[in-house]
Amino acid sequence: MSAIVNMKGVRKSFGALEVLKDLNLTVNKGEVVAIVGQSGSGKSTALRCLDRLETIQGGELWVCDHALHAADVDKARLRRDVGIVFQSYNLFPHMTALENVMLALRLVKKLSRKESQDISCQVLSRVGLAEKFHMYPEQLSGGQQQRVAIARGLALQPKLMLFDEVTSALDPQLTGEVLRVIEGLASEGMTMILVTHEMDFAHDVADRVVFMHEGQINVDGPPSVLDTPPTREFANFLQKSATVQ
């Protein structure tokens, strides 16, 4: 299997606060990796480093053959290969769902309007929004807006999709809508890394579960680690998560 992500001794600090401490992680093509952990454990920072939204300060980081630890990394080329979806949808309110998806194709891939429109229609249909092309974000539910954001990422045909707590702002019904789309992508072989608090989803869909604790990887194993946590820290985290739910 070929590595899509290879982190070696990655470190990241914000001022005096060390957020990532000697992180080592390899993700192979076609894998779905769920990253879990309590707030402040470094999981979202780790994800943002994979799209060079944050710059690492130590170690080596390779993503889709891009050396993200290098000063001269081509961010434009990187973002053709890596799609990222956040908790907030970040849609342009004055653009329709179709226009929001088309924009990246026009700006990043320099495609014609016709090509951009054809691809955007395909990916919006793929996430179950064939009837919503011409609606504006305010006319869509939260789950539908999040699916537009996923379609926007898929339109560039990335090699890797990153999801950062994409359901945390949604109610249970809308959460289900979005998770079904991600589950479909997993079944198609899309390489994905998800920061999530949905333990059942991680158990059922992920190939691996990574538990981060205090800026380090505490557990990295198959979904069965959620049933029999191998460390005290992971067991405590799962117990607290179950209590909250």
pTM: 0.92
Inter-residue contact 205 to 32 (CB < 8 Å): yes
CB 129 within 8 A of CB 97: yes
Sort residue 214 into left (φ over 0), alpha (ψ -120 to 50) or beta.
left
pLDDT digits (tens, 9 = 90+) for 63-120: 999 999 998 999 888 988 999 998 888 899 999 999 999 998 998 888 999 999 999 9
Beta carbons of 167 and 140 less than 8 angstroms apart: no
Mean pLDDT for the stretch of residues 170-183: 87
Rg (CA), the chain: 18
Q: Which of 133-137, 184-188, 197-201, 237-241 has the highest mean pLDDT?
A: 133-137
- What SS3 class is residue 9? strand
pLDDT at 245: 55
Q: Which residues contact 98 (CB under 8 A, 6 or more apart)?
A: 117, 120, 121, 124, 133, 134
The order of strands in the sheet holding 58-63 is 17-28, 3-14, 58-63, 66-67
Q: Which residues pair with 82 in a beta bridge?
A: 160
Neighbours of 139 (CB within 10 A): 12
Judged against a pLDDT cut of 60, whether residue 22 lies above it is answered with yes
**For the segment 206-229, what is each residue's pLDDT rounded down to a tens digit?**
999 999 999 999 999 999 999 999
Domain total in the chain: 1
- Provide the sign of the torsion angle of the four alpha carbons 155, 161, 165, 170, taken in this order: positive
**Which range of residues forms the domain containing residue 131?**
3-244
Res 60 pLDDT > 70: yes
Q: How many CA atoms lie within 13 A of 185 on its CB side?
A: 31
Q: What's the confidence (pLDDT) of residue 205?
A: 92
Quick: pLDDT tens for 40-56: 999 999 999 999 999 99
Residue 174 pLDDT grade (very low, low, confident, very high; cuts 50, 70, 90): confident
| Domain of residue 155, CATH code | 3.40.50.300
Task: Name the amino acid, one letter, at 156.
Answer: L
DSSP states along 66-109: EETTSTT--HHHHHHHEEEE-SS----TTS-HHHHHHHHHHHTS
Q: Rounded to whole angstroms, how far apart are CA atoms 39 and 240?
A: 12
172: number of Cβ within 10 Å: 7
User: How many CB atoms lie under 10 A from the CB of residue 173?
Assistant: 9
Res 218: pLDDT: 97
pLDDT tens-place string over residues 95-110:
999 999 999 899 888 8
Q: Which helix (H) or strand (E) holds 177?
A: helix 172-187
Rounded Cα distance between 92 and 133, Å, is 14
